[in-house]
Amino acid sequence: MKSLIIYGSQYGTAKAYATKLSEITDIPCVSYENIKDIRNYEQIIYLGGLYAGGVKGLKNTFRLLKNSNIKTIVVTVGLADVKNQENTDTIKASVAKQIEKDILENSLIFHLRGSIDYSKLNFKHKTMMKMLYHALKNKPVESLTQEDKALIETYNKKVDFVDYHSLKQIVEVIQ
């Protein structure tokens, strides 16, 4: 099956996962920014970082899939605990806003944990995270979710949840 791994990454974690997946599977990988046509492929594996409620590059890439029968796998990469159902439901809802319903219904979706290094964030992302942090700090403690508490605890630090072993579940459905 002719396959391609495509990634959308701002700070490198989705790219790192895509590169590792490419090494494991011998499937080439490329940034979504370099994709013009994907109709010659039978399977697309898309790995994208989660930023402000969206998956980087997903909408642009999947727009190229109109009227095709390409098998699609979507892999999100973010900080949220992917073992928490509330988190994965929220992520799936944001994915659903970015791709057409028929493509979404025929796609497999996986979630991986990523990393963040506040010192490397651009001004816009630093500002957004600072605003979110201050908004959460002002909420009553009993109303905070587990993820809210984790964000407060790790704010302005370097946090790394990358686990290449978690790619095994994706490898199993590719091959």
Instruction: Report pLDDT digits (tens) over 92-145.
Output: 888 888 888 888 888 999 999 999 888 888 898 899 889 989 999 989 988 887
Task: State the average pLDDT over residues 26-42.
Answer: 91
Q: Which residues pair with 51 in a beta bridge?
A: 54
Q: Which residues pair with 111 in a beta bridge?
A: 76
- CATH, domain 3-116+159-174, list 3.40.50.360, 3.40.50.2300, 3.40.640.10, 3.30.70.260: 3.40.50.360
Segments making up each domain of the chain, as ranges: 3-116+159-174
Distance (Å, rounded) from C-alpha 116 to C-alpha 122? 12
Q: In the prediction, which pLDDT does 144 show?
A: 84
Judging by DSSP bridges, how do beta strands 3-8 and 54-55 pair with one another? unpaired
Is-contact 127 174, C-beta < 8 A? no
How far lies 158's CA from each of 30, 56, 117, 129, in Å? 27, 21, 4, 13
pTM confidence score: 0.87
Task: State the average pLDDT over residues 35-64.
Answer: 87
Lowest mean pLDDT: which of 18-22, 37-41, 49-53?
Answer: 49-53
The token duo for 111 is: 């979630």
45-63 CB burial, b ≥16 within 10 A, e <16:
bbbbbbbeebbbbbbebbe
